[in-house]
């Protein structure tokens, strides 16, 4: 075990997969000599050279098109879209080409493509560089979406995404790159669709991903002091999400909160709420509550942005409100 940051864990995962498989290559704006906007690809250019770590022009449409084409012919490209706000620019090719490749060819063509991007607010970057747009792709068949919340999962999930034969949107929480934790190089690859029980409990289930996982864990610690036992499920992969893990927890606790940084109408909350209404309604002792950002653009004002971001306090308020019903 070694204690490293999420940034370092992602870098290590990319390095290990570049070493492990000659078909893996990296492709994106400033990822080479510069090391990427968030320094996730630092030093990989020097180690693997310009044919494996490739700087591209400033064109998201060209990046995704080249990535899809390479995946079609058997390569395993990992492309970087600098900010998740710009996944709007790749929607046409990702939805209509990458996501449908396996279905339209009856499995003869796969698209093992990873799209790395950083998401979220808190960096005072304004409404065009701070969004959580994962909800845009929740309803698109053929696309998987992974979101790590700690270094161990960042390492294992990214390696699992690169080895997956489907396009994976890999979203990295912008404000968590410096979070430290233990990483074991010998840990198993984490497949898409497997959640993690981050904390066990019996009274309330909090389903969270990305930045809301540590906030939910802190809220759970405070709730314990007030006699409330909270189970926190780190979804890790939000498409597909781990139905068995979610149902097992909700059947036990009878109460559920969905916590996300995305707006209330976005993210995974609407899909999870519908799933629980269909599959777990008879086990619920209260309403399905959401902790999420307001349905507005991300404000630039520091005061407004701090209010906009879902907080540990808002998770705690939801826990108290739910157990009181």
Same domain, 33 and 92: yes
End-to-end CA distance of the chain: 44
Same domain, 17 and 154: yes
Q: Residue 95's pLDDT is what?
A: 96
Whether 206 is covered by a domain: the verdict is: yes
Same domain, 226 and 265: yes
Of the residues 129, 196, 239, 255, only one is catalytic, namely 129
Same domain, 234 and 144: no
Whether 188 is covered by a domain: the verdict is: no
Return d(Cα 31, Cα 44) in angstroms, integer. Answer: 9
Q: Residue 188's pLDDT is what?
A: 86
Same domain, 217 and 71: no
Q: Residue 176's pLDDT is what?
A: 97
The per-residue pLDDT for range 207-250, each reduced to its tens digit, is 999 999 999 999 999 999 999 999 999 999 999 999 999 999 99
From residue 111, give the alpha-carbon distance in Å to each of 63, 231, 300, 301: 15, 36, 37, 41
Indicate the SS3 state at residue 243.
helix
Domain CATH code at residue 288: 3.40.50.920
Q: Residue 9's pLDDT is what?
A: 97
Is 34 an annotated catalytic residue?
no
Q: Residue 142's pLDDT is what?
A: 96
Whether 21 is covered by a domain: the verdict is: yes
Alpha helices in 100-179 (DSSP H): 101-104, 151-163
Same domain, 11 and 142: yes
Whether 275 is covered by a domain: the verdict is: yes
Expressed as residue numbers, the domain containing 222 is 196-323
Whether 43 is covered by a domain: the verdict is: yes
| Long-range contacts, stretch 51-58, CB < 8 angstroms, 24+ apart | 51/25, 52/18, 52/24, 52/25, 52/26, 53/25, 53/26, 54/25, 54/26, 54/27, 54/28, 55/28, 55/29, 55/30, 55/31, 56/27, 56/28, 56/29, 57/29, 58/29
Whether 66 is covered by a domain: the verdict is: yes
Of the three residues 183, 209, 240, the one that is the final residue of a domain is: 183
Same domain, 166 and 249: no
Same domain, 79 and 174: yes
Q: Residue 89's pLDDT is what?
A: 95
pTM for the full predicted model? 0.96
Q: Residue 185's pLDDT is what?
A: 80
- Of 247, 245, 199, 251, whose CA–CA distance to 222 is shortest? 199
Same domain, 309 and 212: yes
Tokens of 75: 């390569």
Q: Are 80 and 26 in contact, with CB atoms under 8 Å apart?
A: yes
Per-residue pLDDT of the chain (325 residues; tens, 9 = 90+): 899 999 999 999 999 999 999 999 999 999 999 999 999 999 999 999 999 999 999 999 999 999 999 999 999 999 999 999 999 999 999 999 999 999 999 999 999 999 999 999 999 999 999 999 999 999 999 999 999 999 999 999 999 999 999 999 999 999 999 999 999 988 889 999 999 999 999 999 999 999 999 999 999 999 999 999 999 999 999 999 999 999 999 999 999 999 999 999 999 999 999 999 999 999 999 999 999 999 999 999 999 999 999 999 999 999 999 998 7
Identify the residue whose tokens are 């399905």.
288
Same domain, 25 and 90: yes
Count of beta carbons in the 10 Å neighbourhood of residue 50: 10
Domain count, the chain: 2
Domain CATH code at residue 6: 3.40.50.970
Same domain, 170 and 200: no
Instruction: Give the pairing of strands 204-208 and 168-173.
Output: unpaired
Strands (E), the chain: 2-5, 24-28, 53-55, 76-83, 114-119, 144-146, 168-173, 180-183, 196-199, 204-208, 230-234, 237-239, 256-263, 289-293
Same domain, 142 and 19: yes
Whether 280 is covered by a domain: the verdict is: yes
Tokens of 211: 């930045």
Of the three residues 162, 183, 204, the one that is the final residue of a domain is: 183
Whether 58 is covered by a domain: the verdict is: yes
């Amino acid at each position: 075990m070694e204690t490293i940051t999420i940034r370092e864990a992602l870098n290590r995962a990319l390095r290990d997969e570049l070493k492990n498989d000659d078909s893996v290559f990296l492709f994106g704006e400033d990822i080479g000599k510069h090391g990427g906007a968030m320094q996730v690809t630092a030093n990989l250019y020097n180690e693997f050279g310009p044919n494996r770590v490739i700087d591209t022009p400033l064109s998201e449409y060209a990046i995704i098109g080249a990535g899809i084409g390479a995946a079609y012919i058997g390569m395993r490209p990992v492309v970087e879209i600098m900010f998740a706000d710009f996944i709007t620019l790749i929607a046409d090719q990702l939805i209509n080409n990458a996501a449908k490749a396996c279905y339209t060819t009856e499995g003869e063509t796969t698209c093992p493509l990873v799209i790395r991007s950083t998401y979220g607010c808190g960096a005072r970057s304004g409404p065009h560089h701070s969004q959580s747009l994962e909800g845009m792709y929740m309803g698109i068949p053929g696309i998987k979406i992974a979101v790590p919340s700690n270094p161990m999962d960042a390492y294992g999930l990214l390696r699992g995404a690169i080895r997956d034969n489907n396009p994976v949107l890999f979203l990295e929480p912008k404000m968590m790159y410096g979070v430290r934790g233990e990483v074991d190089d010998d840990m198993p690859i984490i497949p898409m669709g497997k959640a993690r029980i981050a904390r066990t409990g019996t009274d309330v289930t909090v389903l969270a991903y990305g930045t809301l996982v540590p906030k939910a864990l802190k809220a759970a610690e405070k709730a314990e002091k007030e006699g409330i036992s909270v189970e926190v499920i780190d979804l890790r992969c939000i498409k597909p999400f781990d139905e068995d893990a979610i149902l097992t927890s909700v059947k036990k606790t009878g109460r559920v909160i969905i916590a996300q940084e995305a707006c209330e109408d976005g993210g995974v909350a609407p899909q999870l709420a519908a799933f629980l209404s269909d599959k777990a309604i008879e086990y619920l002792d209260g309403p399905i509550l959401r902790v999420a950002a307001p349905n507005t653009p991300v404000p630039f004002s520091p005061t407004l942005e701090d209010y906009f971001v879902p907080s540990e306090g808002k998770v705690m308020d939801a826990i108290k409100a739910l157990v009181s019903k």
